[in-house]
Amino acid sequence: MIYYLTWQEDDWLDEIIDRFPGMNALVPNGKSLQVIRQAKAAGEVTRMVIVVNVGQEPEETKQFLDMLAADGDLASYPLFLVGGAPDVKSEWQESYPQADVVAIDCHPFEFDYDAVLSRMEQRLEEQR
């Protein structure tokens, strides 16, 4: 399962839906973490990659990521941080070293979304 957490619809959401039609999009907050925990506890989800758009609402997003990091179980799953500007990529990486931080440093039409989505898919498959 791909969980994509974002504050609003964006290019990443479109790309992820195209590649992973069964994905689940949520708002990055405590209630969403509870939804993910419940799906896992019920056995509905056995493999997952968590993708968080850090380009919007950075303070609230940091609060969410801190809650995620504090959850011993969910924090063990692959984490991708997308949507951040190139000039803050290193800050996100320092704050969340377990994450794969992706910043688009070219026009979005030129960006190789497929390469990143392939890495997500690979991280999901590694959990088999």
Compute the average pLDDT of residues 6-22.
Answer: 94
- Confidence (pLDDT) at 80: 98
pLDDT > 90: what percent of the chain?
93
- Confidence (pLDDT) at 36: 98
The DSSP code sequence of 54-117 is -SS-HHHHHHHHHHHHH-TTGGGS-EEEEEE-GGGHHHHHHH-TTSEEEE--S-TTTS-HHHHH
- Confidence (pLDDT) at 67: 97
Mean of all residue pLDDT scores within the chain: 95
- Confidence (pLDDT) at 78: 98
Q: Is 126 helix (H, G, I), strand (E, B) or coil?
A: coil
Is the per-residue pLDDT at 32 higher than 80?
yes
- Confidence (pLDDT) at 107: 76
Q: What domains lie within the chain, and their CATH numbers? A: 2-125 (3.40.50.2300)
Compute the average pLDDT of residues 40-63.
Answer: 96
- pLDDT bucket at 128, cuts 50 / 70 / 90: confident
Compute the average pLDDT of residues 100-110.
Answer: 87
